[in-house]
Amino acid sequence: MNKLLPIQKWQIVQWSTLIIATVFALILLAEGMNEESFRLLIRFTARSSCILFLLAFIASAWQKLKPSQVSKWLLQNRRYLGLSMAISHGLHAVAIAGVAVLTSENMVRDNFGANLGYVFILLMTITSFKRPAAILGRRSWKILHTVGMYYLWLSFTVAFAEKLGESWLFYTPWVVMLISALILRLILLIKKTEKPIVT
Ligand code: HEM
């Protein structure tokens, strides 16, 4: 049991869902059901998803490069952070549907890149469970989760970078966090390749 962070495994999914869903409901209560409030919810859920995603994305590199109680907790609970991100992005889709219903603006059509993001989120969520993972097999599982993870990294980074023009002060930290997370993983990759070949 990691003494530093008492909540583990499904408790993470429960607590993150409870917090994100409560804020979601409070925004609708405070702002009413209209296009602006749903757009606000799209942004809120994109940000909560990004934080959960980043924690799962940096876990293994942090634990290998500079192990600590926190990095150990992140690695032990990476699956549950990923599932929490999937639920948060499920609410991103609900907010998108809210705008579509109120404005008949179909943001899904011709949005191949964003749709593919949801395909990866869905496949990675399903294969986070034992049976589907066993059916897929270890090698394909690794390929799906590696390609999927980097594709989601790219989706978040592009979506936030596109908003720099709107407010660079607000969006620069998000882009910097995402790029720093990638650099952390690349450092580990380089260290792995540097390992002397034992002849
Ligand atoms: C069908 C799929 C998707 C649609 C239609 C969609 C739609 C949108 C829209 C309309 C916004 C702008 C909201 C606004 O500022 O008014 C937005 C923001 C965003 N979306 Fe999505 N999205 C989709 C999938 C995704 C995926 C898969 C990711 C990442 C993995 C993602 C990450 C983001 C991010 C990071 C923002 C910026 C949030 C902010 O301004 O703080 N979206 N999305």
In a domain, 2, yes or no: no
CA 94 remoteness from chain centre: 16
Other Cβ atoms closer than 10 A to 4: 10
Opening angle at CA 189, ends 4 and 3, nearest 5: 5
DSSP state of 197: P
In a domain, 4, yes or no: no
In a domain, 65, yes or no: yes
Measure 95 CA to ligand 1 centroid, in angstroms. Answer: 10
Measure 74 CA to ligand 1 centroid, in angstroms. Answer: 25
Other Cβ atoms closer than 10 A to 178: 22
In a domain, 160, yes or no: yes
In a domain, 181, yes or no: yes
pLDDT tens digits, 39-82: 999 999 999 999 999 999 999 999 999 999 999 999 999 999 99
In a domain, 1, yes or no: no
In a domain, 3, yes or no: no
Closest-CA residue, ligand 1 atom 24, reads 114
Measure 49 CA to ligand 1 centroid, in angstroms. Answer: 10
Domain residues for the domain of 73 are 10-192
Question: For 91-119, what is the mean pLDDT?
Answer: 88
Atom of ligand 1 nearest to the CA of 47: 41
Q: Which of 38, 42, 151 to mutate to test the pocket of ligand 1 (most atoms within 8 A of CB)?
A: 42
pLDDT at 137: 96
pLDDT at 196: 57
Which SS3 state, helix, strand or coil, does residue 43 take?
helix
Looking at the structure of the chain, the number of domains it has is 1
Measure 168 CA to ligand 1 centroid, in angstroms. Answer: 17
Other Cβ atoms closer than 10 A to 75: 18
pLDDT band at 159 (very low <50, low <70, confident <90, very high): very high
67 φ, ψ (degrees, to nearest 5):
-55, 140
pLDDT at 105: 77
* Least confident among 32-36, 74-78, 90-94, 187-191: 187-191
User: Is pLDDT at 146 greater than 60 in this prediction?
Assistant: yes
In a domain, 76, yes or no: yes
- For the chain, give the percent of residues with pLDDT over 70: 95
